[in-house]
Amino acid sequence: MRSENMPYVICHMVISIDGKVTGDFLGSSTGLLAAEEYYEINRKLKGDAFACGRVTMESSFTGGFKPDLAEYENADVPAGDFIARKHGYYAVSFDRHGNVGWSDGIIHDEDAGYDDCHIIEVLTEDVPAGILAYYRDIGVSYIFAGKHDIDIDYALKKLYDLFGIRQLMLEGGSIINGAFFRADAVDELSLVYAPVIADEDDKPLFSQCRFREFRSFHSQMLSNGIMWLRFKRDNGIKGGQS
C-alpha cells in the first residue's frame, strides 16, 4: 500500500474505444467534442495540481520555445530544491532533463482549468546548472526526484510535503502515465471515451503497463455518444473527490 503522505492521483484522459490517447482521432469532429467534455470535467474535478510530461507541456503550453541560456552558462546555483512561491494551483512538469522552455513561472491560459497555475519542474540531479539558474530567474519552482531517472513516489512525497498538493490530475501522454502506473501511483481513472477507433500506431493510455485490477464506480452518457467512466484501484484506495 502506498504512503498516505502522497497526493491522490486521478488519471484523466480522452480515450478512443480501443484505448488510444494520441493520434488524429483527437482532431476529428467526434474527438473535439470529447475534448470539450473532457475540459468541462477537468474544471469540475480540479484538484491542487495537474501533471504532464515534457512533450505534452511543450505542445500545450510553450509551443516548443527554447530560451537563450548563454548568460546562465557559468551560473553558481545553490544545491537542493527551489520553491519560487506557494500557490493555490500548480502545473507539475515531469521533465527529467529540464528541457521545457518556460517563459514565466505561471501558466496563462484561456481555460480556467489551467490558467494561473504555478509551474513546478520535476527534475533529475544531472540537470545542467544553466537551466536551473534560468528557472530561478523566471520564477519556476523545481524539485529533484532521482539521480538519472525520476522516482515517481519520491516526487509525489515532495509535492505533498513542500507544496501541500493533496489531489493531482495526471493528464500526460502514454509514457508519463505508464511511469505512474508502474509505480502503482494511479488511484483513479477518469476516462472520457470518444466513440471512434484510432489508428494502430497511436499511443495507448499506458506505456509498458502491467496487470492491475480496478473497479468501476461511475458511468455517465454525455453528448454525442461520448461516455465518461471512472474507476478506482481495487486495493489501497484512498478517499478522493467523487
Grade residue 47 by pLDDT with cuts at 50, 70 and 90: confident
Per the prediction, the chain carries an average pLDDT of: 93
Tens of pLDDT, residue by residue over 181-211, are 999 999 999 999 999 999 999 999 999 888 8
Q: Please tell me whether residues 82 and 156 are part of one structural domain.
A: yes
Number of domains in the chain: 2
161 with 73, same domain: the answer is yes
pLDDT of 72 above 60: yes
Residues 155 and 191 both lie in one domain: no
pLDDT tens profile 54-70: 999 999 999 999 999 99
Looking at residue 3, what is its pLDDT?
A: 65
- Look at residue 240 and tell me whether its pLDDT is greater than 80: no
The mean pLDDT of 140-154, rounded to a whole number, is 97
What type of residue sits at position 171? E
In a shared domain, residues 76 and 39: no
**Whether 159 and 189 share a structural domain:** no
Together in a domain, 103 and 60: yes
Last residue of a domain, one of 165, 186, 205: 165
Place 2 in a pLDDT band, splitting at 50, 70 and 90.
low
Structural domain containing residue 134: 50-165
| pLDDT tens column, 208-223 | 888 889 999 999 999 9
Which of these, 24, 184, 50, lies nearest to 115 by C-alpha position? Answer: 50
197, 238: one domain: yes
Mean pLDDT for 167-186 is 94
Spell out where the chain has E strands: 8-16, 49-53, 90-94, 106-107, 117-123, 141-144, 167-170, 188-194, 214-221, 227-233
Q: Which residues pair with 107 in a beta bridge?
A: 117
Domain limit, last residue, from 140, 165, 190: 165
**Across residues 98-103, what is the average pLDDT?**
97
Same domain, 32 and 60: no
Give the gyration radius of the chain's Cα atoms.
18
Q: Which of 134, 165, 196 is the last residue of a domain?
A: 165
